[in-house]
Structure 1
Amino acid sequence: MTSRPALGKIGVWTAALKANSVPSEQVSEAAAELDELGYGTIWLGGNPSPDQVGHLLEATSRITIATGILSIWDHEAAYVAERHSALNAAHGGRFLLGLGVSHSALAGERYRRPYTAMKEYLTELDSAPAPVPAAQRVLAALGPKMLELSRDRAAGAHPYLVTPEHTAKARDILGKEAVLAPELKVVLDTDPERARATARGYLSHYLALPNYTNNFLRLGFEDEDFVDGGSDRLISAMFALGDAQTIRSRVEEFLAAGADHVALQVVTESPMTDLPRAQWRTLAEALPLDKD
């Protein structure tokens, strides 16, 4: 790539800032605080629209706002390209487009030939009146083919629910130049049993999605690891559990394995709606943020 998106080393992944069930003023205040704390990127989860990204861009001044991810089945490429161009022009190029093919259970009958559909969607973005440059988009890639596409037709990859081992393999496929920005789920709780219960309650949703379980199998896990919300082995691999220093150690494992950036998702009992601002502050004190 001729240029790389400005992500910083550490970002925050959250769906709660979509403002679907959280008052907009609370969303704006939380986004502004993440900006002030020194995080490099807010990854807006839950299949956000470009207009929801716009709300966060208006509330911040420095931080990159990325979709993590926008489903290609739910958002027309022409509209996405138009809004991407307009929002970046208005906000200093801080909108990074994260794209994904989602899951068959969510997309329904539309979910056919997802790899081909992603290539076609990228072509539509390339040919739009206001094209989305490859350097301003990343793909939610897990398997080798999508990682190769991330390398060849985007700035890089934003893998979700992965391990440092996956990161090392992804780096080998992506090469040195492409961006690699994995997501990492964290539970800030020093009670191991309670932390695992919180993690298991959240992971159980993902264990019904074959894209993730197939990737777990590629990483050496077995079908028995997917029972009852996930085995302790799977939980320990997919989450960072403990205090802030423990979280930092896991982040450093990802960076050492080849990640350029790690997107931290703080998991609570209601992670899709909670704004864990106190925990974001705690992590900001412990992590290597790019503070001015």
Structure 2
Amino acid sequence: MSVDTMWAVRLHAFGAPEVLVRERVPRPVPGPGEALVRVHAAGVNPPDWYARNGYRNLPPELRPSPALPLIPGSDVSGTVAATGPNSAWQIGERVHALVNFPGRGAGYAEYATVPDAHLARLPDALDHLTGAALPMAGLTAHQYLAHYLRPAPGITAVVNGAAGGVGHLALQLLKAGGAGQVVAVASGRHERFLRELGADRFVDYTAGPVADAVRDADLLLDAVGGPDAHRLLPVLRRGGRVAPVYFGDYRTEHAVGELGLVFNDRMWQVRSSGTDLAELDALVVSGAVRVAVTEVFPLAEAAAAHRRAEQGHLRGKLVLHVTD
């Protein structure tokens, strides 16, 4: 077996989870300012199955056209195996990253090349499963709240999809940032989990309209979106802010004109940042934020991980175990 190859999961055509195939491929070589990471674990995220489906969930004008074959995945945790010219990292260092996002990360593999600036040192207190679960979901919540929304202390915030990857981290970051009250919206099976994470109130969306239980909130952070997203809007007061994580039908004209709600003035996008990831790591090590990993799959069973993701109702994150 050649040392210049590695195991990776690729897709040669867009479609159902079965298009994900484990095979041997050339091992990447780090370029200037890059490190080659031996991947111990890789996170599973919505953009992974969006790519697998050919981005059919996005409006046609926003769909990327990725070249095939494609290695999906953007969250990696592992150790530095080699460095390119002028890299600041050392062989053997424990690291993790959201790789090249927005863009092509190629994380479902034994090795991945990562730009120096995207890497953060993985604290000794965190294992690689946590290191792989945190980057995309954590940076989405952290960057959205800390760098873009910047909610004032004391607000009432509603987190829809609070048990999922982004939702359970956003809930905790809101509490750590001084929110007065955080209302978690999820199915009833997740109530205890979310209260343990710090939710002040819990609303089971399967028991009736959320707007019957919550009114006059200042912020709606919606980690679900979809065609029924507009049904959550009555939870907000006039002047309340809508913060969508994914695409959804918010009937924006009516929401702004009739309900007096505020939407982002531009499309917000999470981006790779080792600096921001290190800030998140410190919160996790301190105990202010807990990262929930709901299930771990071997790399060879990436298709099974995608099938589980499509069933929905996740608690935290799915992770691929790549190598010890």
Same fold (TM over 0.5): no
TM-score after normalising by structure 1: 0.29
TM-score after normalising by structure 2: 0.27
Name the larger-Rg structure: 2
Higher strand share goes to which structure? 2
